[in-house]
Amino acid sequence: MSSAKKLYRSKKDRVIAGVCGGLADYFEVDPVVIRASFALATIFSGIFPGLIAYLTLTIIVPEKGKK
């Protein structure tokens, strides 16, 4: 049996697409910490790279419960 953790977009802890909620579940931290960190990183990187990263994760990371 495999006990490896897998990254999924969250269905319950979502604001937009569930990416930050899924990362919070994966790293076992509060989703607010991930959202705040992501928002700060996006603002300080010039907005565009953060948006591209979020959109990329939305496309690549599957939603929990879907295959």
The answer to whether residue 11 sits within a structural domain is: no
State residue 53's pLDDT score. 92
Residue for token pair 């603002």: 43
The answer to whether residue 12 sits within a structural domain is: no
| Structural domain total, the chain | 1
- Structural domain boundaries enclosing 30: 19-60
The answer to whether residue 67 sits within a structural domain is: no
The answer to whether residue 51 sits within a structural domain is: yes
The answer to whether residue 66 sits within a structural domain is: no
The answer to whether residue 35 sits within a structural domain is: yes
User: What is the value of pTM for the model shown?
Assistant: 0.80
Q: Kindly state the tokens that stand for 42.
A: 């996006």
The answer to whether residue 55 sits within a structural domain is: yes
State residue 67's pLDDT score. 58
pLDDT of 37 over the 90 cut: yes
Q: How far apart are CA 47 and CA 30, in angstroms?
A: 23
